[in-house]
Chain A
Amino acid sequence: SAVISQKPSRDICQRGTSLTIQCQVDSQVTMMFWYRQQPGQSLTLIATANQGSEATYESGFVIDKFPISRPNLTFSTLTVSNMSPEDSSIYLCSVGTDEAFFGQGTRLTVV
């Protein structure tokens, strides 16, 4: 198993600003994954972050909007840039491939 810590757990941000979400894992992992869960919806994969290489983004998500860093095998950040109210969601990081483990999520509200 893996223990995943996300910061912040929640935030309220002004439109046009950016927020960086941190994800810390208690063990070294090759791949980390970022998901978005819009209000009342299911989870959608944003991107896969592999240490030492550029993140791979899913259709509908771009690096300029959601830049990701992966400086080492236990840490990653996701930035939500130039936010609008439509970005209000829960953002979750995840590790593991066979059995995926998820953080508690960051609840973002953009006003």
Chain B
Amino acid sequence: DAKTTQPPSMDCAEGRAANLPCNHSTISGNEYVYWYRQIHSQGPQYIIHGLKNNETNEMASLIITEDRKSSTLILPHATLRDTAVYYCIVRGYFYGGSQGNLIFGKGTKLSVKP
């Protein structure tokens, strides 16, 4: 089972920031928080990941609380093309290269509206 809890759906106005929350209260010390999104009829797309520090890249920012029990993905200026299902995933780092614990939950369906 997925180790994260996300709201099933959210709306966001185009041009505004989209803040997607994720609860992961049972996260362990060596587990990372990953975010992927899946635009309709496409394969999932990697967005960002982090361990405990906040992270930012060209797509989004990831804010992780100090106790690491929750996080927020921020899309700073949402566009219509950001409409997708967003998955928050907790996984450990396997030096053996396994993707076996990349467990997808139901995610949050983000709808960006004009």
Q: Interface residues, chain A, CB within 8 Å of chain B?
A: 4, 30-31, 33, 42-45, 48, 56, 58, 92, 94, 96-105, 107
Contact = CB atoms under 8 A, between A and B. Distances in A.
26 contacts: A31-B98, A31-B99, A42-B87, A42-B104, A42-B107, A43-B44, A43-B104, A44-B104, A45-B102, A45-B103, A48-B99, A92-B43, A92-B44, A94-B43, A94-B99, A96-B99, A97-B94, A99-B49, A100-B44, A100-B46, A100-B102, A101-B46, A104-B41, A105-B41, A105-B42, A107-B41
A8 to B, nearest CB: 14
Nearest to A10: B41
A102 B87 contact: no
B113 interface: no
Interface in B71-99: 87, 93-94, 97-99
Interface of B: 2, 36, 41-46, 49, 87, 93-94, 97-100, 102-107
A4 B106 CA distance: 24
B42 A104 contact: yes
Nearest to A58: B100
A107 B43 CA distance: 11
B97 A30 contact: yes
| SS of A interface (majority) | strand
B110 to A, nearest CB: 15
Contacts of B97: 30-31, 97
Residue from B44, B46, B107 whose CB has the most chain A CB atoms within 10 Å: B44
Contact of A45 (B41, B42, B94, B99): B99
A91 B49 CA distance: 25
Contacts of A100: 36, 44, 46, 99, 102
B107 A48 contact: no
A99 B43 contact: no
A94 B46 CA distance: 11
Nearest to A32: B99
Contacts of B41: 104-105, 107
Contacts of B42: 104-105
